[in-house]
Amino acid sequence: MPEAFRFPKSLKKTLFHYCPGCHHSIIHRLLCEVIDELGIREKTVGIASIGCSCFLYFYIDVDIVEAPHGRSCSAGTGIKRARPDLVVFTYQGDGDFAAIGLGDSLHAASRGENITAIMINNTVYGMTGGQVSPTTLPHQKTTTTPYGRDPKREGYPLKVAEILAGFEGVAFCARTAVNTPKRVIQAKKLLKRAFETQLEGLGFSYIEFLSACPVNWKMDPLSATRYVDKLAETFPIKVFKDRLSEGKT
């Protein structure tokens, strides 16, 4: 009988601290499964950023360094340039990657740094209590857009994947979600593809997860998970670029 379930070797046997209905734990697990399947646990260095996922190292059993807010892609650049044999990933929120760290992120992508950047897009600053972020939807209420995000005042949602897809240095660019079982399976394939792109030395690989933040969205876990479909109307779930596959055809 084929094996139906196995606890990933790279996932530490501990309880997640994340809120009920948060998607971090699902994505952490997928990340660990991918690291195990590619056999790269012993040569991977992860970068924990600022936000709820700062505690990445409580759960993922690889070498990890903390970077200041927004600077993960720069720290990743330093690691990969100094030790090209290591596999490097960043794990950042939309505030970290696309607000304070947008410069670092875009330049690392433009240089084609051979690292994998994972961006968790839940449209709010989760850890600080749900403030507006660059990816907040128009009219979405947050603690700092209490009347809803008015594009005339707070601008429009920043579509990071769409920007990165046009960069020469970017070899893989996709947006995915984990709010349905089918999407979880698809997301894992894409995450694996992002790491394979790095292993092939093709350049910057970027994968964005539309993710639920029930507490800050003021929703129950089920409604928040369903609401991810609403995010997908503004942020289409799509593979924007996959140079690895292009090379194979």
Partner 1 sequence: MAKKVLVKGVEAIALGALEGGCECYFGYPITPQNEIPEIMAVELPKRGGVFLQAESETSAINMVLGASAVGARVMTSSSSPGISLMSEGFSYLIALELPCVVVNVMRGGPGLGGIEASQGDYFQAVKAPGHGDGRFLVLAPYSCSEAYELTARAFELADKYRNPVMILSDAILGQMKEPLALKPLNIKNYPKEDWALTGAKGRPSRVIKSLFLDSRELAERNLKLKRKYKEMEREIRYEALYTGGEKVIAVAFGSMARICKEAVLNLRKKGYEVGFFRPITLFPFPKKVLSKMADLNSEGVKFVVFELNCGQMIEDVMLSLCGKAEALSRFYPPSVLPFPEDIEKELKKCLKPSGSQKA
Cβ closest to partner 1, residue 70 vs residue 130: 70
Contact 94, 135 (CB under 8 A): yes
Rank residues 54 and 99 by Cβ distance to partner 1 and give the closer one. 54
* Nearest residue to 80 (alpha-carbon basis) of 111, 54, 107, 113: 113
Is residue 224 within 8 A of residue 217, CB to CB? The reply is yes
Residues that bind partner 1 (CB under 8 A): 41-45, 47-48, 54, 57, 61-68, 71, 74-83, 86, 103-104, 107
Report in angstroms how near the CB of residue 116 gets to partner 1 at its nearest.
14
Nearest distance, CB of residue 15 and partner 1, angstroms: 16
CB of 52 to partner 1, least distance (A): 12
Cα 94 from Cα 119, distance rounded (Å): 6
Residue 109 or 213 with smaller CB distance to partner 1: 109
Closest CA to 163 of 213, 220, 97, 218: 97
Judged by beta carbon, residue 66 or residue 154, the one nearer partner 1 is: 66
Least Å distance, CB 74 to partner 1, is 4
Closest CA to 206 of 92, 85, 117, 91: 117
Structure tokens at 193: 């593809």
Distance CA 52, CA 99 (A): 16
Q: How far is the CB of 81 from partner 1 (least distance, A)?
A: 5
Could you give the C-alpha distances from 225 to 94, 96, 199, 211, 236, in angstroms and in order? 18, 22, 32, 8, 16
Residue (103 or 151) nearer to partner 1, CB? 103
Instruction: Name which of 3 and 85 has its Cβ closer to partner 1.
Output: 85
CB of 164 to partner 1, least distance (A): 16
